[in-house]
Chain A
């Protein structure tokens, strides 16, 4: 079975602080994909990053960075120098390979609400 756990329900930080959002996943697939999405108060989900299971290189994009560790089945997301506009719910998601043309679903975590105070 596939599962994504985001143990942090809510995090509150003050602007300019760094914050790390945790994501732990479970899967028996050897090939899988991990995603992070942002859902601001307006409701739309914004795609942030995709990582495949064979690529353990960490990635940095501006103030965002992601740490993928297969050994601990984690795919954590760090925002440095947080800003008020970062306030949103962040979802981590997992998808398997989808053999034989089968459509494969995204399994979402329960999300972490990040509140950045000015």
Chain B
């Protein structure tokens, strides 16, 4: 149980392209989803928290117009990197959790490696 599917696994695209990453909870309803970014050999950096049906809450320093998050249903959240540039290249990971309370573990997708040329 508690499977989170993230798609695509790899993206290589040209600078200026917008890239959409999907995060789906396959066997549970995810009231809350999280988007993280991870640089090589570093920890996970939380970018934003999204609750189904409401606007995402972005962490300080994360541009909400650059990283568009939509959590339209209890099983799907999307992250769109708009007009991506080489500095946006990174490993993006989503997670999903049932409910808003932190006693439940977050279950993570497999991540998306984004490379902008």
Chain A residues with CB under 8 Å of chain B are: 33, 35, 37, 42-47, 50, 52, 91, 95-98, 101-106, 108-111, 113
Contacts and interface: CB of A to CB of B under 8 A. Distances in A.
A113 B32 CA distance: 29
Interface of B: 2, 32, 34, 41-44, 46, 49, 51, 57, 91, 93, 95, 100-103, 105-111, 113
B43 A33 contact: no
Pick the most buried of B95, B102, B103, B111: most chain A CB atoms within 10 A of its CB: B102
Contacts of B43: 91, 108-111
Contacts of A110: 42-43
B103 A108 contact: no
Contacts of A43: 91, 93, 110-111, 113
Contacts of B106: 47, 106
B108 A96 contact: no
Contact of B108 (A37, A98, A102): A37
Contacts, number: 65
A85 B91 CA distance: 22
B57 A50 contact: no
B57 A103 contact: yes
A93 B2 CA distance: 19
Contact of B46 (A33, A50, A98, A105): A105
8 contacts: A44-B108, A44-B111, A47-B108, A95-B102, A95-B103, A98-B100, A106-B46, A111-B42
B22 to A, nearest CB: 15
B2 to A, nearest CB: 8
B109 to A, nearest CB: 7
Pick the most buried of A43, A46, A111: most chain B CB atoms within 10 A of its CB: A43
Nearest to A46: B108
Nearest to B32: A103
B102 A47 contact: no
Contacts of B102: 33, 95-98, 103-106
B37 to A, nearest CB: 12
